[in-house]
Chain A
Amino acid sequence: MSRRFVFGFVAAVFVVANAAVRAADAPSEIKIGTLYASSGAFAAISMPVHSGLKLWIDQKNAEGGLFVKPAGKKIPIKLVAYDDQSNTATAATLYNQLITQDKVDILVSDSGSVLTSVAVPIARDHKMLLIDQTGTGANFFTKDNPYIVLISDPVSSIWPKYVADFLTKDGPQLGIKRVAIIYSTNDFTGTQATAVRGFIKDSGAPVEIVYDNGVPTNTSSYTVLLNNIQAANPDAVVALGYPNNDISFLRNVQDGGIKFKWLFSIYAGLETEHLLKTVGAKGLEYVYTYVPSSEIEYKSEFGMSLQEFRDAWNKKYGEGTVEFGFNSVAGYTTGLVLEKALATTESLDQLELRKVIFGLSGKLKTIDGTFELDETGAQVGEITPLGQIVPDGKDGIKFVTIYPHEVATGKPVYPAP
């Protein structure tokens, strides 16, 4: 028997034994714990994200599970999901339950900054990595907290950069010199307002902020506020709110016969199908907004293409009560990041997971754009360009990407007719 044969035999035994030990240690399922809001103020943004994540889970389970490298094989995903009903106190209790009672392997936050805010300290205290889907509040991300990564939306402190850049760089040439900012006072839109304000002031451009007021997130009537904004005589109005705010705001603009020369709204773009049903196409015409990943065909190098995802969504949810849109893409993107991370991680240790997710930064390209993190775990890729919604000539609307210039598909219509 040659030494070569003996060496080969021993190596083979080692590999087989090692695989057997790994298989014995491998969990029979991978537990993903998350929350969703089926009712309340954040249901409209939570359910599409949750449905997007569920679509990915169902898809993977139908394929025999998710490949988990430490197990060396595909493992079924078990989703442990609770309804927080948009209530932060309930959410805090349930996040604790997911960690301490259900002992989930992966903790995924509910959608949006408000319902994510309570998860940040809980995850940190329990040394669980918080897979933050769309909670973009800038104060969640600090250098001393390694237990959070923002997956699917850019952090709010940079998200509105293109909006502010357009106003300060292209705006003065168009005649935009006076800007009004109205925002809902929560982590998400409050941070965006701070960012817009900061970008404008730091730019040194001849643009003045003439109205800058926050309103409670549950504000449903903007008629008086609109009159006050009009009194400030702005050339551009930046309205930063959640869907309920944007719906009321845009309806009040339309019903009041108010014409702003330039008007920005977040959810006109992020949840267009939903706003079409509530505000109507006329109310969205000439509104500036973020051009979402559900409208731009980013070249996906992992997971489904946008059209494939849309088809899968329609097949699974049909004409259900949850709309396809930016948030549904966000939920699916969360799944893709987890899929990639679990396929490469050496263990399910939370900091190891963080390490492999950071390793994807700048390399993972999905239908949500390029996944890119800064050192605090904040998402700095996936930034949505500024666009304008214009009539498509068939009683409908379409997006025109306005800024940055390198991705622009058209010129802004200013002032809005």
Chain B
Amino acid sequence: MLAYSILAGLVFGLYFSLVGLGLNLVFGVMRIVNLAHGDFLMLGAFAAYWLFNLFGINPLAAAIVAFVFFAILGIPLYYAVVPRLLKAKDPEMLSIILFFGLSQMIEALATIAFGPGERSIPGKVLGSGPVGIFGQSLPSAWIVSGVASGVAVLFVYLYLYRTRLGYLTRAVMVHREEATATGIDVHRVSAIAFGIGLALAAIAGVFAPFMLGSVTPAIGVDINITSFAVIVIGSLGNPLGTVLGGIVYGISLAFMQTYLSSWANLLPYLLLIGILLVRPSGLLGRQVRSA
């Protein structure tokens, strides 16, 4: 049971790295809290559901479609909302209120459009039967979702550390005003990062029916809570710390389910409190400041 918990927790954690990645990227670049992050994930899930049911599009292809669509959607949304928000005295607090409102609107509209019930995509679409790894067997849909999450994380890493736009993005993350002073088009960089953040949420949503069993228009709140735990564990503002945070969360959840299952829903809060007491900057907090 121990080996299985570690392995399953690792794969689940990798997925939750992807879930939290977009939220952390947006916070890191803009210092705003996108409380509608979970709702964009939900929209990605419903996009995959409808693409599969109406056109038979495989979720792997749907992930690419969702990425492009939500990245494009994010740019005008950024210009409509964020620059004005950043002019406020306390943009972080205001962003919480604003995106909470957006979250409620998205959930309400999705409920009207799709109904309140659970939706899912058959697991066999991502491969039939379990896959054996290190003597343990995991659903193939989990493995595919885990690998896809790994690819998305790698994409973000390459974007941040191997592209010119990524360098500029990191510069904005370190100090927005200094980046502006050096001539960087901060809004352009931020808009692209915002789009990528939304797109990552949407990709995570595409794989949600496989990792979470089903999706409803109301999953956003739970997703947000878990995402916050993941990014705070890793380090708020450090997208790559999210990977570590996700894995810590995934393995911890697997252990909780094995040894203390009734209390498993307390895990995000316990981890949040624990990390804030012991290491408030997160496990990779120091690296953020020296980036």
Chain A: residues with CB nearer than 8 A to chain B? 37-41, 43-44, 46-47, 85-86, 185, 213-216, 218-225, 227-228, 231, 243-244, 247-249, 251-252, 254-257, 274, 277-280, 320-323
Interface residue B216 (Cβ < 8 Å from any Cβ of A): yes
Chain B 202-215 interface mask (CB, 8 Å, partner A; 1/0): 00000000111110
Using CB atoms, name the residue of chain B closest to A213.
Answer: B261
Taken together as a complex, chains A and B put the C-alpha atoms of A248 and B253 apart, in Å, by: 16
Q: From A85, A223, A280, A321, give the contact of B142 (CB < 8 A).
A: A223
A278/B214 contact (C-beta < 8 A), A257-B137, A321-B114, A321-B115 known: yes
Q: From B123, B139, B140, B218, give the contact of A41 (CB < 8 A).
A: B218
Interface residue B264 (Cβ < 8 Å from any Cβ of A): yes
A44/B265 contact (C-beta < 8 A), A223-B138, A227-B8, A255-B140 known: no
Q: From A255, A257, A280, A323, give the contact of B117 (CB < 8 A).
A: A323
A280 touches B122 (CB 8 A): yes
In whole Å, how far is B15's beta carbon from the nearest beta carbon of chain A? 10
Q: From A247, A277, A280, give the contact of B213 (CB < 8 A).
A: A247
Interface residue B69 (Cβ < 8 Å from any Cβ of A): no
Which chain B positions have C-beta within 8 A of A231?
Answer: 1
A255 touches B264 (CB 8 A): no
A221 touches B118 (CB 8 A): no
Which chain A positions have C-beta within 8 A of B212?
Answer: 220-221, 248
A224/B262 contact (C-beta < 8 A), A40-B218, A255-B142, A320-B115 known: no
Which chain A positions have C-beta within 8 A of B115?
Answer: 47, 320-322
A185 touches B262 (CB 8 A): yes
Task: List 18 extra interface pairs beyond A223-B138, A227-B8, CB under 8 A.
Answer: A39-B217, A47-B115, A47-B117, A214-B261, A215-B261, A216-B263, A220-B214, A223-B12, A243-B118, A244-B214, A247-B118, A256-B130, A256-B138, A256-B139, A274-B118, A278-B120, A320-B115, A321-B117
In whole Å, how far is A297's beta carbon from the nearest beta carbon of chain B? 26
Which chain A positions have C-beta within 8 A of B137?
Answer: 256-257
Which chain B positions have C-beta within 8 A of A40?
Answer: 116, 216, 218
A225/B116 contact (C-beta < 8 A), A40-B218, A248-B212, A252-B213 known: no
Q: Which residue, of A215, A221, A244, A322, has the highest number of chain B Cβ atoms within 10 A?
A: A221
In whole Å, how far is A318's beta carbon from the nearest beta carbon of chain B? 13
In whole Å, how far is A230's beta carbon from the nearest beta carbon of chain B? 10
In whole Å, how far is B43's beta carbon from the nearest beta carbon of chain A? 15
Among B1-54, those with CB < 8 Å from A are 1, 4-5, 8-9, 12
A257 touches B216 (CB 8 A): no
Which chain B positions have C-beta within 8 A of A37?
Answer: 116
A215/B142 contact (C-beta < 8 A), A44-B116, A247-B213, A257-B130 known: no
Taken together as a complex, chains A and B put the C-alpha atoms of A43 and B214 apart, in Å, by: 14
Which chain B positions have C-beta within 8 A of A44?
Answer: 116-118, 216
B214 touches A248 (CB 8 A): yes
Which chain B positions have C-beta within 8 A of A43?
Answer: 111, 116-117, 216, 218
Interface residue B176 (Cβ < 8 Å from any Cβ of A): no
In whole Å, how far is B128's beta carbon from the nearest beta carbon of chain A? 8
Q: Which residue, of A39, A218, A255, A277, has the highest number of chain B Cβ atoms within 10 A?
A: A255
Interface residue B232 (Cβ < 8 Å from any Cβ of A): no
Using CB atoms, name the residue of chain B closest to A248.
Answer: B213
Which chain A positions have C-beta within 8 A of B274?
Answer: none
Taken together as a complex, chains A and B put the C-alpha atoms of A321 and B111 apart, in Å, by: 9
- Could you show 7 A-B contacts with beta carbons less than 8 Å apart? A43-B111, A221-B213, A222-B213, A224-B253, A227-B1, A256-B139, A321-B115
Using CB atoms, name the residue of chain A closest to B12.
Answer: A221
A224 touches B139 (CB 8 A): no
Using CB atoms, name the residue of chain B closest to A182.
Answer: B261
Interface residue B129 (Cβ < 8 Å from any Cβ of A): yes
A223 touches B8 (CB 8 A): yes
Interface residue B258 (Cβ < 8 Å from any Cβ of A): yes
Which chain A positions have C-beta within 8 A of B217?
Answer: 39
Which chain A positions have C-beta within 8 A of B261?
Answer: 213-215, 225
In whole Å, how far is B13's beta carbon from the nearest beta carbon of chain A? 11
A255/B141 contact (C-beta < 8 A), A39-B111, A215-B262, A231-B1 known: yes
B139 touches A244 (CB 8 A): no
Taken together as a complex, chains A and B put the C-alpha atoms of A404 and B5 apart, in Å, by: 40
Which chain B positions have C-beta within 8 A of A278?
Answer: 118-120, 214
Q: From B120, B129, B210, give the contact of A257 (CB < 8 A).
A: B129
Which chain A positions have C-beta within 8 A of B211?
Answer: 221
Among B122-165, those with CB < 8 Å from A are 122-124, 129-130, 136-142
